[in-house]
Amino acid sequence: MLSDKPQTILGRVALGGLAAGAALALSACAPIADILGGGSIEVPDVDLETPAEGGEGPTDTDVFQLNIGDCFIKEDLNTAFMSGDVSEVPILDCAESHDSEIFYTYDIAGDTYPGEEAVSADVSETCAGQAFTDFIGVEYANSEFLIDAFTPTEDGWNTIGDREVICYVKTGELVTGTLEGANR
């Protein structure tokens, strides 16, 4: 089921005082929390693994430099956004424990920001569509995973021309290795 109320980084930054607008100017992408579901999920038959030996931990990566296959821990991402450090995402090597992985990116067309509801609807259709099936190996409706996305904010759309949506899959549990081809 689709979430009726997306949570954008714009709202979170506003609650945090907007930090003189600088944080907002740096944040052209925003998470839509729990686009196709909410809260935590139970993931049967997922083995929890400890981080890979020699793991270096997260590397802060510019939100405009994220790539398909980048992995992270959702809670670390939430912490970064709530602290006002909205221009970077703490990315991990997928060999380390993580619960989220970027699987698809695309740009929303148009000259005028379509509004949060339209962006959310577009993200829900696109991220849960063929892109998800191609990456995970099963249709979203038959998967045990959830999806979420970084989306352009109205400010990012208007000031720096950000149109990019970054779709990511969430497992609900810590896993190691890529989720590509997980078939579940």
In the predicted structure, residue 21 carries a pLDDT above the cut 50: no
Q: How far apart are CA 128 and CA 35, in angstroms?
A: 10
Mean pLDDT is lowest, of 51-60, 81-90, 93-102, 155-164, for 51-60
Identify the pLDDT of residue 84. 55
Q: How far apart are CA 155 and CA 134, in angstroms?
A: 32
Mean predicted confidence (pLDDT) in 21-26: 34
Kindly report each contact of residues 130-135 with a partner whose C-beta sits within 8 Å and lies 24 or more positions away, as own/partner: 131/103, 131/104, 131/106, 131/167, 132/103, 132/104, 132/167, 132/169, 135/103, 135/104, 135/169, 135/179, 135/180, 135/181
Identify the pLDDT of residue 123. 96
Identify the pLDDT of residue 23. 34
In the predicted structure, residue 5 carries a pLDDT above the cut 70: no
| Residue 36 or 22, more confident | 36
| Residue 63 or 92, more confident | 92
pLDDT digits (tens, 9 = 90+) for 30-64: 444 444 444 433 333 433 333 334 457 888 888 78
pLDDT digits (tens, 9 = 90+) for 106-163: 999 999 999 999 999 999 999 999 999 999 999 999 999 999 999 999 999 999 999 9
Identify the pLDDT of residue 62. 81
